A and B are shown apart, each in its own frame.
Chain A
């Protein structure tokens, strides 16, 4: 069948690019994500200029607005075994990171029209939490809402995570939220008309030390109490689930078949589309510059496209939340921490669950596209909004991964990138009212798992905001707990 290929790695045609533009995706990063061009083996070498030329020819974007998507390392596909050969000094903190794209988005991408002059609710952050909240507000009849996003949709952590969704948590609150979220994810395509490719292949956790093994066992019992069918596995049972897994040094393993992975990007588009259909303004490439306050209330949100008078403002800015709150004189205890991640060449399906070593935070799964996607936290990572990529990460990850699945040694890494976790002192979120600034609401601090909690949290927050009925979630996780010393410790953080 006759087709005009632009990206032949991913079979993306000229028509596909035009379809994306017709759907409103006009900047190169967004067109890349919507069509998948440039995400294949060549990473855009043969297609990026051709796509830009097409966008220029069709006047989909101003010439100055045509910017290449970030060239992710490695420049050529590189075997995990080679990357694993680099020694890493684990006693030293990671330093630096490759130049990261668009930490400030170029003004040329900013829409020319002014933002709405007023709105009942202004949500700062067009990530999954902000969009999901706006959508849920619209379901409850509140459509006078504006969502402000500093970049394109998916520019922040919502577009940079591994797509893991799990019910295996260490606190009742998180278990219940995750259960509800996964239920909503299963209906997302029906509700929103866009596929998110939820695949419930389970999460297989393993522990390398006694203490962590005990934590797994204790949490499995808690899961069962909440109706989550987590079970302790013998190592042989674990190997039946993942053939070839060495389970090196494993002391214990747990498995919940209902956990899984989803494809993050369409989630944001689905919520954003539904918001726009309901009349909610989702303003991308728009930066909040300050607040106008009086009498303990936020009166206006100031942006680089004009001011918006509002009744309520919601800070849902992920790792940027402390910066945003600071503009209103509010100090959040959250700290951004870089977490790196990579994706390999696509392979035919062989790996069912997401596998994680709870001790090191190593995790890896196989995406619906066949890539191995995974990451591993670095205990020494300093706080800061750093999204640069390091060779140190790929090396540590490659070693930890091939230790568990040695046949992946020849598998090649196609790209690595980073995002920021929004870390709180007790690894639990910051929700609800702000002491001293009553109409500023907090929706942040999800420590790398906001993506999977968003559907359920936003549903409850919209109900709480519109009904006035109390909900313990917004007192239990309020900012006050840090002053009152009522911390809610979560001990199943990975990545």
Chain B
């Protein structure tokens, strides 16, 4: 990964402290972004096999980037903004994450390690194993100090609680505002916009809605919904809001919950898919567009229009495309030159990616050198909140994901839970925005007593 030429314009230069060494960074960018841009590709060792890990999803949806930050274990460095002097430590490695003797576990167990049956009942071996397993278990060390006193939790009441400030959520917010329905929108990121700002460019994508046109304080950023609960007063959303004053827990009671949380970048199973230097497509477009960080030479694997959109984005950032491998095909005529149909991808490299190989249509194994492998597959719908609210979730065989079952307006099996956008399966930005608008319109009609 390297910084693009316009890096200087992207925030103040600061330094972070990584195990005693200074690492340059831009203030406010995700710590993991600073580290990979500085050439630090190995951020952690995995829990069981001590495999080298670098950031993958840049979405807080995997565990590859967890580090100890200022004495607190297991912090998502893909989410935490860089601040001058931050102290970073890699976890689960001895003597260091770059040279970890316990990586031997990975080599001793090429076929995997069945912890249920290994040494079971062998008198001495079993006891030794239990002791070793206990010492090797866990990730981070206990925090250095107690947490600061938190702000008192608050209760908030609103007609509609919207979760997610991506294409669907923002479109819904504008529609609700236009109809005069009071709402609060909770966005986990520091700014709303979702794919509008961080996705690969789609030719038909609508413009980013102007959030300044929304009612004041109706959009809460750095606000993470952690669950849809209920109690004596009814259904409420639990939200953790991060502000300069600290973390605050909100209980948000609403008449309707319009859930548009999008999706998580999934792990695509292939050989060495966890090698540092393998990134989700979401990570690649986010790093390039928002933070000006991109690989020099990338190999892309995936399927669907998203694969080609990402290829075009990376090319536009000056990244050389070593390969664009479509795992499902056929390759459309509009695809960038050199795109091929292929299968059985495998990442290669010692400690980090140096090549990708795949099986071509003729059955030949092709290997290309690259410094990053980008995995461009559709998102895995974030069905958790709707499901907690009682919505039905089904496996979509064609897309190979679990998705929320909803009608065209976003109604689910639970009367007060509505959904829009990728949570119902995935589509384009334009489709997500249209779904958000439709759901908000139908929901507004219902609230006005004009339900069909």
Contacts and interface: CB of A to CB of B under 8 A. Distances in A.
Q: Do A and B bind each other?
A: yes
Interface string A148-192: 000000000000000000000000000000000000000001111
B393 interface: yes
Contacts of B109: 1
Interface string B291-304: 00000000000000
Given A19-B114, A98-B388, A50 B121 contact: no
B271 A389 contact: no
A195 B48 contact: no
Interface in B265-280: 265-274
B226 interface: yes
Contacts of B231: 94-96, 390-392
Interface stretch (A69-77, A127-135, A209-217): A69-77
B229 A98 contact: yes
Per DSSP, are chain B's interface residues mostly helix, strand or loop, or mixed?
loop
Contacts of B269: 4-6, 14, 50, 54
A409 B227 contact: no
Nearest to B247: A82
B146 A406 contact: yes
Interface string B231-260: 110000010100000011101000000000
B116 A3 contact: no
Contact of B397 (A56, A266, A406): A56
B149 to A, nearest CB: 8
Contacts of B118: 195
Contacts of A10: 47-48
B411 interface: no
Contacts of A199: 130, 134
Given A47-B266, A71-B388, A347-B73, A191 B248 contact: no
A369 B137 contact: yes
B74 A412 contact: yes
Size category of the B interface is 35 or more
Interface in B319-371: 346
Contact of B121 (A2, A189, A346): A189
Instruction: Classify chain A's interface size.
Output: 35 or more
Contact of A50 (B64, B110, B266, B382): B266
Interface stretch (A34-42, A118-126, A288-296, A483-491): A34-42
Contact of A5 (B133, B273, B382, B400): B273
Contacts of A194: 116-117, 120
Contacts of A191: 121
A327 to B, nearest CB: 28
A83 interface: yes
Interface string B111-153: 1101111111101001001100111011111111111101111
B77 interface: no
B384 A96 contact: no
B265 A46 contact: yes
A122 B86 CA distance: 63
B227 A349 contact: no
A368 B143 contact: no
A357 to B, nearest CB: 19
A381 to B, nearest CB: 13
A45 B62 contact: yes
Contact of A76 (B106, B152, B226, B389): B226
Q: Which of A15, A191, A390, A407 has the largest number of chain B CB atoms within 10 A?
A: A407
A49 B401 contact: yes
B116 A68 contact: no
A391 B61 contact: no
Interface string A23-46: 000000000001000001110011
B367 to A, nearest CB: 14
Nearest to B71: A410
Contacts of A5: 267, 269, 273-274
Interface stretch (A85-93, A276-284, A313-321): A85-93
A222 interface: no
A92 B109 CA distance: 53
Interface in A52-82: 52-54, 56, 63, 66-68, 70-71, 73-82
Contacts of A11: 46-49, 51
Contacts of A370: 137-139
B230 interface: yes
Contact of A347 (B138, B146, B238): B138
A4 B61 contact: no
Chain A interface secondary structure, helix, strand, loop or mixed?
A: loop
Given A5-B274, A15-B112, A369-B137, A195 B117 contact: yes
A50 B112 CA distance: 18
A8 interface: yes
Contact of A4 (B270, B388, B401): B270
B139 A49 contact: no
Given A15-B112, A96-B231, A391-B229, A347 B380 contact: no
Which residue among B53, B114, B135, B401 has the maximum number of chain A CB atoms within 10 Å of its CB?
B114
Contacts of A71: 383-385, 387-388
A67 B140 CA distance: 32
A98 B237 CA distance: 11
Contacts of A409: 143, 146-147
Interface string A376-400: 0000000000000111100000000
A304 to B, nearest CB: 22
A111 interface: no
A85 B153 contact: yes
A75 B266 contact: no
A443 to B, nearest CB: 27
A57 to B, nearest CB: 9
Interface string A410-421: 111000000000
B220 to A, nearest CB: 15
B143 A3 contact: no
A42 B161 CA distance: 25
Contacts of A97: 229-230
A192 B151 CA distance: 51
B120 A49 contact: no
B145 A407 contact: yes
Contacts of A48: 380, 402
A165 to B, nearest CB: 15
Contact of B116 (A49, A53, A195): A195
B134 A349 contact: yes
Given A54-B269, A345-B74, A197 B112 contact: no
Contact of A53 (B48, B152, B400, B414): B400
A369 B384 CA distance: 25
A193 interface: yes
A301 B95 CA distance: 61
Contacts of A407: 142-146
A490 B139 CA distance: 39
Given A46-B62, A75-B227, A408-B143, 14 more contacts: A2-B271, A8-B64, A15-B111, A46-B380, A49-B266, A68-B383, A73-B227, A73-B229, A78-B240, A94-B231, A189-B126, A348-B139, A368-B137, A392-B231
30 contacts: A1-B109, A2-B110, A3-B271, A6-B267, A14-B269, A46-B61, A49-B402, A68-B387, A71-B385, A71-B387, A73-B227, A73-B238, A73-B388, A76-B60, A76-B188, A82-B150, A82-B240, A84-B150, A85-B153, A96-B230, A98-B388, A190-B120, A191-B121, A193-B121, A195-B117, A346-B138, A348-B142, A368-B134, A369-B138, A370-B138
4 tightest Cβ-Cβ pairs between the two chains A and B: A370-B138, A409-B147, A73-B227, A81-B147
